[in-house]
Amino acid sequence: MSLLLEDVTLTYPDGEGRLTALDAVSLDVPAGTLTAVVGPSGSGKSSLLAVAATLVTPDSGRVVVAGLDTGTLDRAGKARLRREHIGLVFQQPNLLPSLTALEQLQVMAQLSGGASRAARDRAAALLDSVGLAAQAHRRPHQLSGGQRQRVNIARALMNEPSVLLVDEPTSALDHERGAAVMELIAGLTRDRGTATVLVTHDRTHLGRADRTVTVRDGRIGAHAPV
Ligand code: ADP
Ligand code: MG
């Protein structure tokens, strides 16, 4: 299932007037593909993800997630859509300090009422797929920055999202660990068939993406297939 943004405009109040964060943005992200989004700071990259994640409602335009037009959903409907279909990865992992890596993932299943035995198995398999089988019982302070970001990514995949939205996942990592995280996200996108959008200011990793789009002043620029 894909992610579709159609002619999306988003403004924020700004003094007397409005600031246009997204200006008639259209983006079609097919399942199993990775779209990288680059652009200067303040150009609207995070706003694009927030709209795609249904965290922010645009002034106009359509956002279609997993075949559902999100404009038809109320608050509860959007919350459910996020739980069932959207995986979010932010720059800072925001892991719960007292939980082990395995438990961070299990919590996600509990939120959606998943059975605990199946959830535990799934969490363990996901940690394995991000290379952290041996660290499953460690708490965040016992993990490196790169490992914490891997837990963060695995957690976002816990409920088998069809759409994966990732905001600057490598910015707190050194080049080598950043490259490994990009590689991981590209691989997971193919294996799990997610429609993935990844914001990055780090152009050195763009080769892993299926295509790169540039955002400038809230507008989408050239679509350069890689
Ligand atoms: P980027 O992620 O590319 O740095 P953002 O999407 O965060 O850009 O921001 C785009 C523009 O919208 C910026 O001018 C920013 O200041 C503004 N903006 C972002 N979030 C808000 C908000 N919640 N309220 C008001 N203005 C915002
Ligand atoms: Mg941002």
Ramachandran area for residue 4 (φ above 0: left; ψ -120 to 50: alpha; else beta)? beta
Q: Is the CB of 21 within 6 Å of ligand 1?
A: yes
On whether the CB atoms of residues 98 and 139 are closer than 8 A, the answer is yes
Q: Counting ligands in written order, which one lies closest to the CA of residue 171?
A: 2
Q: Check residue 218 and give its pLDDT.
A: 97
pLDDT band of residue 226 (cuts 50, 70, 90) is very low
Q: Whose CA is nearest to atom 13 of ligand 1?
A: 42
Sheet of strand 68-69, all strands in order from the earlier edge strand to the far edge: 17-29, 3-14, 60-65, 68-69
User: What b-and-e string marks burial along 14-34, b requiring 16 or more CB atoms within 10 Å of the CB?
Assistant: eeeeeebbbbebebebebebb
Of all protein residues, the one whose alpha carbon is nearest to atom 21 of ligand 1 is 12
Ligand 1 probe mutation, 10, 25, 46, 56, most atoms within 8 A of CB: 46
Residue closest via CA to ligand 1's atom 7 equals 46
| pLDDT tens, position by position, 52-83 | 999 999 999 999 998 999 999 999 999 999 99
pLDDT at site 114: 66
**What residue ranges define each of the domains in the chain, with the CATH number in brackets?**
3-94+145-220 (3.40.50.300)
